[in-house]
Structure 1
Amino acid sequence: MGSPAVIVIGAGPVGQTAALLLARWGLPVLVLDQRPRRDLEGSRSICQQRDVLDLWSALGVPEAAEEGLTWTTARTYYRDRELFSWSFDLRGPLPPFVNLSQSRTEELLDAAIAAQPRIEVRWDHEVTDLEQDAGGVTVRCGERVLRAPYVLACAGGRASGVRRALGVTFDGHSFDDLFLICDIRADLPGWENVRRFHFDPEWNPGRQVLIHPCPDSTYRVDWQVPPDYDATPDDISRKIRQILGDREYTLVWQSVYRFHSRIASRMRVGRVLLAGDCAHLVAPFGARGLNSGVPDAENAAWKLAAVLHGWAPEELLETYHDERHAAALENLQVTGATMRFLVPGTPAGRAHRRDVLERGAAEEIDSGRFAEPYWYVDSPLTTPGRPFAGRPPKGQSPPPAPGVILPDCSIPGGRLRELCRAGFLLLLGEMCDSSLFAQILGKVTTAPLAVRELAEIDGTGALAETLGAAPDEAWLIRPDAHIAAIIPHAGPDDAAAALSRALRLRVQ
């Protein structure tokens, strides 16, 4: 590999995904990680949402969706009684999520990276300083000096040195209580497809316990424990026995950690972009950590590619901060509300939670709103049009609108989303002349662009009906599968203006 176009700091799932995306865009990538080698221990981040699985499939890693376990039922308990249960809608070409250990996810992504000649990974490279100038970024790892036009920092929540070098603050707070995590392997008939959330069980009074099934008869158990908790082998065994009784089990891995709620003051500083836990930390209820870090990587990758290939001006990179910082704030808001219910910090909050649980008011019990793609409705790249319906009910997706991610659905020969991510995609109703649109839009940019008629993709009309697309509409889809514009009564000039806006091009 020659000189890198982008240095990615951090070889976790977010950095791995970013490297694969950048390489897919034809860019040489150098990945740096401060660890001496890959540490494949523990479940850590276990829940990958459908849109993340879709992206990994596009990168040649379909095994994550295939190997992961999708539980079907969520049961919620208060003390010794079940309050309610609910199930995911499992319809669709991909599962709504899977449970798969981060260790296995990293193995799968590593295999894809090893097959990609544009990516080089260097371990034992701790970044000690960053310096920028008009031509690029100098990255120092002790005495070693590296350079690239751009840097994407995916170095995790403890990357204080990287943030300090950029002058970025990491404001927020940490929760006092600790959480004990154990991966347990056991034969538990009837538990394989059920997630259990226990409020105030007699074997963890005043706190919560969450039990997730994972592949290979493994279960992830999270106990909320006091700030001074001492994770001795005897106490861990006692806690497990309180759940499993006298069943045989194997303790595979354990860890104790504290939840944080923090966000970087900037996610773009000149030629350096921050992504994943390096830019934001949230409590894990709702699985909004990895499932927001991977969209960070995708958003950054297509914009870096557009700038480096000359398809867009450098000011496009500022919209990375605009869009993903807003997404991080949304996640902080959602997870903050969850943590205020799970760990109320005031007598009034504790009384409210006790009242809600005693009444079994399912609609008021907040154990986490599951991760969902952020909607770029207010982005400068989005052309206003069809109104956004607002945040949908829990477990549902918003109807298609500018800024929302394109719904995935089955089409003849595959899935709709498989047509995305190679560049921009223009979907046309039957009243639009595709050859004329292609001719006009080809004059706007040299960025990859595919123009497809909905009737050509699916001659039955089912696709247009699923999307709610009118015969005279044009839908412009970004390389990250988000809808940039839905243009009614569309003409080629309207579509060209939307494409210019989506790339921050100056309209002549």
Structure 2
Amino acid sequence: MNTPVAVIGNGPVGQTTALLLARWGVPVVVLDQRPARDLVGSKAICQQRDVLDIWDAVGAGAQIAAEGVTWTTARTFHRGAELFSFTFADAGRPAFPPFVNLSQPRTEEILDERVAAQPLIDVRWGHRVTGLVQDADGVTLACDNGAEVRAAYVVACAGARCAELRDALGVAFEGHSFDDRFLTCDIRADLPGMRTERHFHFDPEWNPGRQVLVHPCPDSSFRIDWQVPANYDLDAETASDALDRRIRQVVGDQRYELGWITVYRFHSRCADRMRVGRVLLAGDAAHLMSPFGARGLNSGVADAENAAWKLAFVLNGWAPEELLESYHDERHAAAQENLEVTTATMDFLVPQDAAAAKHRREVLERAATDPDAQALVNSGRLSEPFWYVDSPLTTPNERRPFAGRPRRGAVPEPGPGILTPDAPVRAAPERQRGGPADVERQQCHPAGSTGWSPRRFRQLAREGFLLLAAPGADLDAARTVAAQRAAPVRVVELAEIDTTGALAGALSVRDGEVWVLRPDAHIAAVLEHPTPATIEGALHRALADREESGHGLLPTSR
């Protein structure tokens, strides 16, 4: 595999894509039009638990979680009075908290350290892509400095302002923009009561008719977002000391230091195609949404993982190229759901007509005493994974149906298409055939040990396809199928790894089942007393492989 994958854009989504590709042994060249890393401002600060798990696969998740501020509670206020709060449900025993807050620049620095340690990644700053030509064997990229880059595939993570690239691909980017602006300030102050909670204020007396959101950040710093009118003038407010008064209405008489400050206009837009031939669009290049719910960066990292394992499997000859079309199927559906959720939030925050404004006012007034009304208050449904229940890669099971989007802060019951719950497990140290390049490092164990090491289930799942056999399952059937696959497929007995019972409880496992997990830890199938044929069928489906083609099978001796 000599021709690299080109990643356009060296932000968190591009960094994650490159690191995950390199983890599978794929060489990567990263192109960014900027001369160097821009380390100004907090930008995207909310890192969700399942994204930390993805970053953990490349050695960055634990450090990001340790440096960030952990918060598990979201409080919502109306005119200064608390309406309600909620905490996040934990399925199993996850490795990370529901959310940590850490500035995007610091997250990028941590990911840069991992990139620098990866010899398969070549980062080239000052390379603005101006031309793109696809052919049957790859993609040729032309840069404004005269450089030409040849790539097998391209993942475009170039951010929102890449209209030229989308136009060159014939991709529409339809949607709408909101008139109201949002003023964002990074401040440092001593506010003990707000260090570990997110606070959302509807109609506070110090921003009447609009909203304010306060997030804690490391080192006694806070991120404050005010909804402001479309004609808001930051320069005029700064010159008149009105900005100082605005901040003091949040922090009181406390001394504070003002850092980064900006004014945003929010958009809801989505590319009509996220795969065009050998080019995949990811992150803000593919979708834009309001930040209420922290679904922008977090969904972009999920794009990166989905793209990386599928490209790796195609490039390694473990799956047909048709697998890449499922990237569009899955991540476009995820973008559409995120836009639906965030647009509903914006419609509640910024009513579009008199009837909507009346509804909002009545809901907020009732929510002070009526729990049913509290469920209607929309301050942002916080980021969660997209569940691939309708994906062409997922084998449905009528005994484990998807019950629909769960209540705010909850997780769905495990089943086909769902991201698996996490739990501590023990796992053997041997490396499977064809797995990620860092599996041996992750599985090292002390000399003189029994050969088993403590791990997390999601770590184990992300090493390839996993066939998890419950008690009573036909292990020989699973092992026969795994042995015939060129792709990395591991068979694991639940009883051997689940010493605490936490995993069996989180999955609600039934005797005789075989769970098929994808390399992104999503559940591809739950098979009841399967035969080799039904296991093989689920794997074929999860790899977009026609069963009769034999693609991805090891040659058999005659």
1:188 alignment partner AA: L
CA deviation after TM superposition for structure 1 residue 89, in Å: 4.4
CA deviation after TM superposition for structure 1 residue 307, in Å: 0.8
CA deviation after TM superposition for structure 1 residue 198, in Å: 1.0
Q: In structure 2, what is the Cα distance between the partners aligned to 1:125 and 1:235?
A: 42
Q: Is the 8 A contact 1:99 1:213 kept in 2?
A: yes
Alignment-derived partner of residue 415 in structure 1: 456
SS in 2 for 1:380: coil
CA deviation after TM superposition for structure 1 residue 302, in Å: 0.6
Give % identity.
Answer: 63
Q: In structure 2, what is the Cα distance between the partners aligned to 1:22 and 1:165?
A: 25
1:266 maps to which of 270, 273, 285: 273
Q: In structure 2, what is the Cα distance between the partners aligned to 1:378 and 1:84?
A: 34
Q: Deviations over 1:368-396 (max 9, x none)?
A: 11111111111111111121121111111
Alignment-derived partner of residue 486 in structure 2: 446
Which shifted more, 430-439 or 166-175?
A: 430-439
Alignment-derived partner of residue 298 in structure 2: 291
Alignment-derived partner of residue 304 in structure 1: 311
Q: In structure 2, what is the Cα distance between the partners aligned to 1:469 and 1:171?
A: 43
Matched, 1:238 2:245: yes
1:336 maps to which of 343, 368, 393: 343
Alignment-derived partner of residue 79 in structure 2: 79
User: CA 1:208–1:460 in structure 2 vs 1: closer, same or farther (change >3 Å)?
Assistant: closer
Give the aligned CA root-mean-square deviation in angstroms: 1.4
Q: Is the 8 A contact 2:180 2:230 kept in 1?
A: yes
Alignment-derived partner of residue 535 in structure 2: 495
SS in 2 for 1:181: strand
Runs (5+) with no aligned partner, structure 2: 368-372, 427-453, 549-558
Alignment-derived partner of residue 171 in structure 2: 168
Q: In structure 2, what is the Cα distance between the partners aligned to 1:163 and 1:87?
A: 40
Alignment-derived partner of residue 314 in structure 1: 321
Alignment-derived partner of residue 221 in structure 1: 224
Matched, 1:54 2:53: yes
Q: In structure 1, what is the Cα distance between the partners aligned to 2:143 and 2:165?
A: 11
CA deviation after TM superposition for structure 1 residue 155, in Å: 0.5
Q: In structure 1, what is the Cα distance between the partners aligned to 2:254 and 2:3?
A: 53
1:11-90 aligned at under 5 Å gives the runs 11-61=10-60, 62-89=62-89
Q: In structure 2, what is the Cα distance between the partners aligned to 1:475 and 1:135?
A: 36
Alignment-derived partner of residue 107 in structure 2: 105
Which shifted more, 142-151 or 398-407?
A: 142-151
| Runs of 4+ with >6 A deviation | none
Matched, 1:430 2:437: no
Q: Is the 8 A contact 2:290 2:346 kept in 1?
A: yes
Q: Is the 8 A contact 1:184 1:252 kept in 2?
A: yes
Q: Is the 8 A contact 1:3 1:148 kept in 2?
A: no
SS in 2 for 1:210: strand
User: CA 1:140–1:3 in structure 2 vs 1: closer, same or farther (change >3 Å)?
Assistant: farther
Alignment-derived partner of residue 129 in structure 1: 131
Matched, 1:152 2:155: yes
Alignment-derived partner of residue 457 in structure 1: 497
CA deviation after TM superposition for structure 1 residue 4, in Å: 4.2
Q: Is the 8 A contact 2:137 2:152 kept in 1?
A: yes
SS in 2 for 1:48: strand
Q: In structure 2, what is the Cα distance between the partners aligned to 1:215 and 1:411?
A: 31
Which shifted more, 404-413 or 29-38?
A: 404-413
Q: Is the 8 A contact 2:425 2:499 kept in 1?
A: no
Q: Is the 8 A contact 1:199 1:207 kept in 2?
A: yes
CA deviation after TM superposition for structure 1 residue 323, in Å: 0.5
Alignment-derived partner of residue 375 in structure 2: 363
SS in 1 for 2:386: coil
CA deviation after TM superposition for structure 1 residue 30, in Å: 0.3
1:34 alignment partner AA: Q
Alignment-derived partner of residue 411 in structure 2: 397
CA deviation after TM superposition for structure 1 residue 255, in Å: 1.1
SS in 1 for 2:258: strand
Q: What is the TM-score when the length of structure 1 is the normalising length?
A: 0.97
Which shifted more, 353-362 or 41-50?
A: 353-362
SS in 1 for 2:129: coil
CA deviation after TM superposition for structure 1 residue 92, in Å: 3.4
Q: Is the 8 A contact 1:428 1:454 kept in 2?
A: yes
SS in 2 for 1:394: coil
Q: In structure 2, what is the Cα distance between the partners aligned to 1:264 and 1:175?
A: 18
Q: Deviations over 1:45-94 (max 9, x none)?
A: 01011110011111101201111112243222212322222333476331
Alignment-derived partner of residue 326 in structure 1: 333
Alignment-derived partner of residue 469 in structure 1: 509
Alignment-derived partner of residue 380 in structure 1: 392
Q: In structure 2, what is the Cα distance between the partners aligned to 1:505 and 1:290?
A: 31
SS in 1 for 2:510: coil
CA deviation after TM superposition for structure 1 residue 500, in Å: 0.9
Q: In structure 2, what is the Cα distance between the partners aligned to 1:322 and 1:383?
A: 15
2:182 alignment partner AA: F
Which shifted more, 302-311 or 137-146?
A: 137-146
Q: What is the TM-score when the length of structure 2 is the normalising length?
A: 0.88
2:282 maps to which of 275, 283, 291: 275
Q: In structure 1, what is the Cα distance between the partners aligned to 2:314 and 2:20?
A: 15
Alignment-derived partner of residue 5 in structure 1: 4
CA deviation after TM superposition for structure 1 residue 504, in Å: 1.5
CA deviation after TM superposition for structure 1 residue 328, in Å: 0.5
Runs (5+) with no aligned partner, structure 1: none
2:65 alignment partner AA: A
Q: Is the 8 A contact 1:441 1:492 kept in 2?
A: no
Q: Deviations over 1:160-211 (max 9, x none)?
A: 1110110101000110111110010011122212221111112111111100
